[in-house]
Structure 1
């Protein structure tokens, strides 16, 4: 034990500070920011911007404006004085601008479609869960209605009570015709109900 303490003292002398020890990464503190060579951006904001551009590219307004720009471009470079023309007849700069616009439009449209697919997938999942809940609720209500029907099958209905009362009246009438007369109900007895009960 003493030898172990001596070894610890040699490794960490009494006057040593924490600066002399090797630093460990602490889990209770955020990591220091690292510099990156590539620019950083918010993917959600970029996706929203690409959707806005893709929506605009799919409108008639964009086609009209692009047609107007191309017509003005061509007319200017044909009819304007030669020293004011910036793109002569083969219109190479116009072709370059249109191909550049198309090369950016295609990925932006694909990105917007991917985001829409993600939203559709989430909506489909929510609809599926809602359908499962609706089916479970419907099955529960079906079981409850079946249990109520089974319970109602054992409850006396008006027709059943009427038929039972008619049977009792017939039986009482048969007794009355065959034996000494009895009142159908004790309240109908001329001496009152309590006289027979004594």
Structure 2
């Protein structure tokens, strides 16, 4: 991920520090880079997901060629076509031609197959290594997305808890005011009753 994808280091520093202590139990400097990046994105309310093909345009010609060779070499079309070519080669040299250019045991064919395997195997390994690196990158991104979702959920829980506490405090305050009002009304009613009784006695 590029540095421009993240908020600056000094932005939302208080949130990052508080979140690191709250949810990770340590200082931001003790966190891994991915965790710090997630906290910064959460503080800035910015998405952290990327398209699966992100960075595909940055591949070199060799990487694209390796992917293409691996895709073709691992297809049924290649297997069928290659098998048909071998059958034609052996059929021509055994049955069709009076003077075969590669008679049995097909030494020239073995040479071509060895050269093809020597070239194709490293190219396929290059493609597999790049795919493995891409898988690791996607796994790291999945971890960041899941971590950000977990942080957002915990933040929502904290917000709901604060709202509930504030609501309870407001209810208790209102209840206390009503009790005081009822007390004053009751005191006023008792005073009026006492004065009425005194007037009747007089």
Count of paired positions: 137
Matched, 1:150 2:157: no
Measure how far apart 1:107 and its partner are: 0.7
Counterpart position of 1:137: 152
1:128 aligns with 2:143: yes
Larger Rg: 1
Paired with 1:111 and 1:81, the residues of 2 have a C-alpha distance of 40
Please, what TM-score do these two structures have when normalized by structure 1? 0.58
Are 1:90 and 2:101 matched, yes or no?
no
For 1:137 and 1:122, the matched residues in 2 are separated by 22
In 2, the alpha carbon distance for the partners of 1:87 and 1:152 equals 91
Q: Which ranges in structure 1 are unaligned for 5 or more consecutive residues?
A: 1-42, 182-198
Deviation at 1:139, TM superposition (A): 2.4
- Structure with the bigger RCO (C-alpha within 8 Å, sep 6+) is 2
Q: Whole-Å Cα distance in 2 between the matches of residues 178 and 104 of structure 1?
A: 110
1:74 has 2:94 as partner: no
State the distance in 2 between where 1:81 and 1:136 align.
74
Aligned with 1:88: secondary structure? coil
Alignment RMSD (CA, Å): 3.1
Q: Deviations over 1:33-89 (max 9, x none)?
A: xxxxxxxxxx82111101100111111111000110011111111112323x21101
Q: CA deviation at 1:98?
A: 1.6
**Equivalent residue runs for 1:24-173 within 5 Å:** 44-83=60-99, 85-156=100-171, 164=179, 171=186
After the TM superposition, which parts of structure 1 deviate over 4 Å for at least 4 consecutive aligned residues? 163-170
Q: Distance in 2 between matches of 1:61 and 1:164?
A: 86
TM-score between the two structures when normalised by the length of structure 2? 0.57
Looking at structure 1, the residues matched to 64 and 190 of structure 2 have their Cα atoms a distance apart, in angstroms, of: 94
For residues 159 and 152 of structure 2, the distance between their equivalents in structure 1, rounded to whole angstroms, comes to 10
